[in-house]
């Protein structure tokens, strides 16, 4: 339950040197996430399950300076007044958090470091916002609780995505699998003993486009889309028992079936389908797209560590730009 209590992956605020030779006043971290089941259906009132990806992290650090409010990232380094539109969401996180804690805007530099690739369905925008909110608040001597951090993260997520469900904002600071439904999140019990392989297509996901396409399809064929969403929901709900009992074969079948349902919703793509097929041919128990779709990542389930290495190699051989693994200790709770 640690993640749902608002604690971060690295709560240390001990001053450390920065790349510019200054001293970090405060820092906070968040991690990536993958959606196991329920993407797109969650937008239409169904539940979803997300898994924390502890091996992919992002840290925000705050340094006191004599400059105006400053941001330092791979995209831009300088005063926030000159930042590009691409940084509108993280800047929102900075400004909203400063306003919440009642701290002056000037005299702070916010640095973002991390390895979560953007626009891959891994929660990068939410992780940036959550890390920034935690670090900026700490720099003012305030420790945010879970709801405060969620609210500040969501403010940035609305800038990034329009009408986010809130799943990413919860999952990027959770230490355990997360059940999310109707805006509420809770930790899931898991005895999972397999390995998940995440494969990056190397292509940016197109979440807004995919969400709009599902909405258009629902308007044109309401009964058909309602049936698909209901079937995705059935798999998501049944997967709770699969995780608790470590029924990897059942969970894998649900993943593969859900991918086919997401294809019906038009949110897959040839590169995603190719990787799903490659994973299945290499012995994966199941595979599906994860996140918004039309690019981004595939999530495959392997029964053992050895099988996971075989699946990962096959995914890379079929075009995956990179792969990561979620091992039992990352998922069990």
Nearest to 28 by CA among 112, 116, 95: 112
pLDDT at 10 over 70: no
Surface-to-core class of residue 21, CB atoms within 10 Å of its CB (0-12 exposed, 13-18 middle, 19+ buried): exposed
Cα–Cα dist 90/257, whole Å:
36
For residue 23, what are the CA distances in angstroms to 8, 220, 237?
21, 57, 47
Cα–Cα dist 98/133, whole Å:
9
Cα–Cα dist 294/318, whole Å:
17
Question: Rounded to an integer, what is the distance from CA 30 to the centroid of its chain?
Answer: 10
- What confidence score (pLDDT) does residue 279 get? 98
Average pLDDT value over all residues in the chain:
90
Buried-state track 83-105, b at ≥16 Cβ within 10 A, e below 16: beeebebbbbbbbbbbebbebee
For residue 22, what are the CA distances in angstroms to 27, 121, 274?
14, 34, 47
pLDDT at 20 over 90: no
- What confidence score (pLDDT) does residue 167 get? 92
Q: What percent of the chain has pLDDT over 70?
A: 92
Buried-state track 181-211, b at ≥16 Cβ within 10 A, e below 16: beeebebbebebebbbbbbbbebebbbeebb
- What confidence score (pLDDT) does residue 311 get? 98
Q: What percent of the chain has pLDDT over 90?
A: 81
- Whether pTM exceeds 0.85: yes
Rg (C-alpha) for the chain, rounded Å, is 20
| Residue 318 · residue 301 · CB < 8 Å | no
Residue with tokens 């001053």: 15
Buried-state track 126-149, b at ≥16 Cβ within 10 A, e below 16: bbbbbbbbbbbbbbbebebebebb
Angle between helices 270-281 and 305-317 (to 10 degrees): 140
Nearest to 111 by CA among 9, 17, 14: 17
pLDDT tens-digit profile of 68-94? Answer: 999 999 889 999 999 999 999 999 999
C-alpha torsion 229→293→169→172, nearest 10: 120
- What confidence score (pLDDT) does residue 7 get? 29
> What SS3 class is residue 264?
helix
The mean pLDDT of 262-267, rounded to a whole number, is: 98
User: How would residue 333 be classed by pLDDT, with cut points 50, 70 and 90?
Assistant: low
Residue with tokens 């509108």: 88
User: How would residue 22 be classed by pLDDT, with cut points 50, 70 and 90?
Assistant: low
Buried-state track 308-324, b at ≥16 Cβ within 10 A, e below 16: bbbbbebbbebebeebb
User: How would residue 233 be classed by pLDDT, with cut points 50, 70 and 90?
Assistant: very high
């Amino acid at each position: 339950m640690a993640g749902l209590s608002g604690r971060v992956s690295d709560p240390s605020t001990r001053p450390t040197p920065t790349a510019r030779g200054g001293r970090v006043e405060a820092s906070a971290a968040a991690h990536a996430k993958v959606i196991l089941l329920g993407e797109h259906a969650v937008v239409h009132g169904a539940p979803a399950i997300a898994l924390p990806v502890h091996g992919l992290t992002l840290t925000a650090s705050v340094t006191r300076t004599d400059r105006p409010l400053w941001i330092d990232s791979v995209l831009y380094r300088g005063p926030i007044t000159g930042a590009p539109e691409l940084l509108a969401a993280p800047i929102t996180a900075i400004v909203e958090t400063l306003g919440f804690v009642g701290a002056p805007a000037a005299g702070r530099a916010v640095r973002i470091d991390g390895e979560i690739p953007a626009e891959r369905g891994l929660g990068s925008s939410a992780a940036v916002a959550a890390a920034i909110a935690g670090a900026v608040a700490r720099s003012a001597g305030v420790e945010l609780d879970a709801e405060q951090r969620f609210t500040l993260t969501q403010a940035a997520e609305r800038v990034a995505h329009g009408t986010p469900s809130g799943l990413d904002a919860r999952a990027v600071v959770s230490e355990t699998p997360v059940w999310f439904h109707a805006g509420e999140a809770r930790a899931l019990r898991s005895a999972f003993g397999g390995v998940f392989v995440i494969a990056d297509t190397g292509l940016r996901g197109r979440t807004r486009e995919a969400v709009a396409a599902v909405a258009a399809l629902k308007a044109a064929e309401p009964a058909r889309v309602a049936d698909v969403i209901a079937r995705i929901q059935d798999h998501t709900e049944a997967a709770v028992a699969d995780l608790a009992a470590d029924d990897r074969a059942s969970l894998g079948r649900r993943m593969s079936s859900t991918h086919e349902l997401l294809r019906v919703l038009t949110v897959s793509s040839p590169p995603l389908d190719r990787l799903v097929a490659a994973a299945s041919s290499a012995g994966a128990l199941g595979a599906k797209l994860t996140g918004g779709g039309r690019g981004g990542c595939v999530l495959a389930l392997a029964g053992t560590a050895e099988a996971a290495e075989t699946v990962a190699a096959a995914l890379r051989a079929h075009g995956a730009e990179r792969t990561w693994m979620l091992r039992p200790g990352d998922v069990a709770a």
